[in-house]
Amino acid sequence: MEQDSILQMQHITKTFPGVRALDDVTMTVKRGDIHAICGENGAGKSTLMKVLSGVHPFGSYEGRILYQGEEVTFANIRASEEAGIVIIHQELALIPELSITENIFLGNEPMKGGLIDWHTARKRAIELLARVGIDIDPSIQIKNLGVGQQQLVEISKALSKDVKLLILDEPTSALNESDSENLLEILRGLQARGITCIMISHKLAEIAKIADAITVIRDGKTVESYPVVAGQVDEDRIIRAMVGRSLDQRYPEHTSNIGEVVLEVHDWRVEHPAIPGRLVCKDESFYVRAGEIVGFAGLMGAGRTELARSLFGHSYGIFQSGRLSIGGKDVKAQNVEAAIQAGLSYLPEDRKVLGLNLLDTVKRTIVSANEKAILRGPLLDSAKEVQVAEQYRKLLNIKTPDVGVGVNTLSGGNQQKVVLAKWMYPDPQVLLLDEPTRGIDVGAKYEIYKLIQQLADEGKAVVVISSELPELLGITDRIYTICEGRITGEMATKDADQETLMRLMTTTEAMA
């Protein structure tokens, strides 16, 4: 069987300073297969594909890659593409203002006499589009296409490069049901033409439908790799393998003291800001009680962040309908300022992009969401500012010599504590914490968990959104699962386990 493998990755180890992203990963992909790679967010799937496609060039990793029986040493993406390996990323790399033809042949334009031969390009574009089953004018600009069609243009682009091994990173994450179905159909068609596919996906149902082989990666290691028969895939086995790490004592002990309902959301409905008609939250309802820590489990793009930001003064998407009340009072906050006023706080998932002004100082950041509190007349009281900042520095154990230094001088964990302090200072009744421990080290995580528990003990309603299931199981009292804008399940944390949650996070049918 060895001879018909198109790709063998042997003992691949890739380290970033201080961490092992891939640890001795070995996998074999057979020619003509659709090979699925599964794993949690951050397990190392994309890193593995970056190693394969030359994004992480030869020499920056250990191990060997055999492609079509020979060892390959790609220095960049161009080299891997020349060999027939094409990767299609989750975020499409098409240029919206250019036409389909221009996009397909970008960097690979057919030339005649030193000029681009647009006539040939157009003809070939039509042929390529026909191969992925779409019949549209290739002079249409990409921005006028739906996501599903854009995805197909990406595949056409790959086909134009004479692809032998096509890698798709979460190809259906942005697609609706019928577009996804269509895409899977096209992958089967490519398979029939002898093109091998590697597909990274979170959606087990899709994998079950079309995969010929499955590799599960967890914490940078291959857990399992085995051939399957499409249509007869054991989803439970995949889930177990994906989450199978044991829970160690990474979470502080805590007994919750749960009171009355504080946050109540009814039939919340939000439309995507750019795609009319696509709902990112589909009439969902939930509640959080005082002193309770509630987890929102869902994969990337499931709609967790969108829901939280929409609640926070409609700061995401187009609000359509729904009711939000805090402490029994209806809240109609249509901007962030009003939401803060009403007792909401939202800690954004991406600290550097949404959470912080990296040019600012620690003290200014800490008071920034509640500057009114340090006003003396029309002026900000800088003495009080320092006093407040010092108070939080001690409370949260923020490691900085001086609250007057720039936040960019702090480590990630300490930056996150500054953001947390910023959202604690307005003294909110409800805290929506979006990935509060992302990108920080284990020690800082533990401190943040303790702070979250402390906030709950003060009677606040706390929502923790996280991609890490162990984290949710470790610190919450109750968990909602979200998939594609729907709340698909609710359970007390003591009754939850990773397998159940993962199943609910990957299903679109709501539990009764």
Q: Which is nearer to another protein, 94 or 132 (CB)?
A: 94
Least gap, CB of 495 to another protein (angstroms): 27
Q: DSSP of 63-96, one letter per residue?
A: EEEEETTEE----SHHHHHHTTEEEE-SS----T
Least gap, CB of 41 to another protein (angstroms): 4
- Angle, helices 412-424 vs 442-457, to 10°: value is 10
Q: Which is nearer to another protein, 7 or 374 (CB)?
A: 374
The H or E element that residue 62 is part of is: strand 62-67
Q: Which is nearer to another protein, 100 or 279 (CB)?
A: 279
Least gap, CB of 311 to another protein (angstroms): 13
Residue closest to 62 by CA, chosen among 20, 27, 21, 12: 12
- DSSP 3-state assignment of 506? coil
CA distance 189 to 152: 13
Instruction: List residues bridging with 287 in a β-sheet.
Output: 264
Least gap, CB of 169 to another protein (angstroms): 9
Least gap, CB of 416 to another protein (angstroms): 11
Q: Which residues bind another protein (CB under 8 A)?
A: 15-19, 21, 41-42, 44-47, 50, 90, 173, 300-301, 309, 312-313, 315, 335-337, 339-340, 346, 348, 350, 353-360, 364, 368-369, 371-372, 375, 378-380, 382-383, 386, 401-402, 411-413, 422, 438-442, 467
Q: Which is nearer to another protein, 163 or 366 (CB)?
A: 366
Q: What angle do CA 41, 45, 46 make, to 5 degrees?
A: 95
Identify the residue whose tokens are 């709501």. 510
Q: Which is nearer to another protein, 103 or 400 (CB)?
A: 400
C-alpha dihedral sign at 209, 2, 216, 179? negative
Q: Which is nearer to another protein, 105 or 423 (CB)?
A: 423
CA distance 186 to 483: 25
Least gap, CB of 199 to another protein (angstroms): 15
Q: Which is nearer to another protein, 16 or 226 (CB)?
A: 16
Q: Which is nearer to another protein, 360 or 457 (CB)?
A: 360
CA distance 205 to 484: 14
3-class secondary structure for 471-498?
Answer: HHHHHCCEEEEEECCEEEEEEEHHHCCH
Least gap, CB of 120 to another protein (angstroms): 37
CA distance 305 to 347: 10
Least gap, CB of 56 to another protein (angstroms): 11
Least gap, CB of 116 to another protein (angstroms): 31
Q: 302: burial class by Cβ within 10 Å (0-12, 13-18, 19+)?
A: buried
Instruction: List residues bridging with 487 in a β-sheet.
Output: 482
Q: Which is nearer to another protein, 171 or 291 (CB)?
A: 171
DSSP letter, residue 361: B
Least gap, CB of 58 to another protein (angstroms): 19
Distance from chain centroid for Cα 4: 35
Least gap, CB of 287 to another protein (angstroms): 24
Question: Residue 32: CA atoms inside 13 Å, Cβ hemisphere, count?
Answer: 5
- DSSP 3-state assignment of 129? helix
Q: DSSP of 265-285, one letter per residue?
A: EEEEEEE-SSSTT-EEEEEEE
Q: Which is nearer to another protein, 33 or 349 (CB)?
A: 349
Q: Which is nearer to another protein, 114 or 443 (CB)?
A: 443
